[in-house]
Amino acid sequence: MRDPIRHLKDLQRWRGAKGYQGIVAGSIATDLTSLKAGLERQASRLGNAVEIWQRIIPKEIAEDTRISGLAAGVLAVITGSAATSYALDRALRGGAEGRLRAASEGRIIRVRMRIGKVTLDP
């Protein structure tokens, strides 16, 4: 059987890979560029929402949440459990939602929650 590394190099050469920098760099460069662009888009959409969230929501609740997006004034939040959703709902109804709205200068109008996976670990 042929050497798989040699076979990959041959394929890249045959397919006309431009700016070949080696198998690893040439193979994942496009993925990394796409990932970077996606992260930059998300960061610009969220602005300082994550910082505001961490400052206003109680730490024990915020640790079991993840902000998944901000669109049309709705902050989408994923909670790790029903208990966290309930505690977050109580905190928001207790005045945290108004403080979020004020701190974000109206960029965050309301919070939508759903239960899901909070950690990004496999």
Q: Is residue 54 part of a domain?
A: yes
Domain span holding position 52: 47-115
Q: Is residue 17 part of a domain?
A: yes
Per-residue model confidence as pLDDT tens digits over 17-70? 565 555 555 567 778 788 888 878 877 777 788 889 999 999 999 999 998 888
* Structural domain total, the chain: 2
Per-residue model confidence as pLDDT tens digits over 64-85? 999 888 888 899 999 999 999 9
Q: Is residue 56 part of a domain?
A: yes
Per-residue model confidence as pLDDT tens digits over 101-111? 999 888 889 99
pLDDT, position 91: 94
Please indicate, yes or no, whether residues 25 and 57 belong to a single structural domain of this protein: no
Mean per-residue pLDDT, 85-99: 94
Full-prediction pTM beyond 0.85? no
Residues in the chain: 122
Q: Is residue 120 part of a domain?
A: no
pLDDT, position 22: 52
**Distance (Å, rounded) from C-alpha 97 to C-alpha 9?**
56
Please indicate, yes or no, whether residues 25 and 67 belong to a single structural domain of this protein: no
Please indicate, yes or no, whether residues 64 and 78 belong to a single structural domain of this protein: yes
From the number of C-beta atoms within 10 Å of its C-beta (0-12, 13-18, 19+), residue 17 rates as middle
Q: In what order do the strands lie in the sheet with 65-71?
A: 65-71, 74-79, 110-115
Please indicate, yes or no, whether residues 29 and 53 belong to a single structural domain of this protein: no
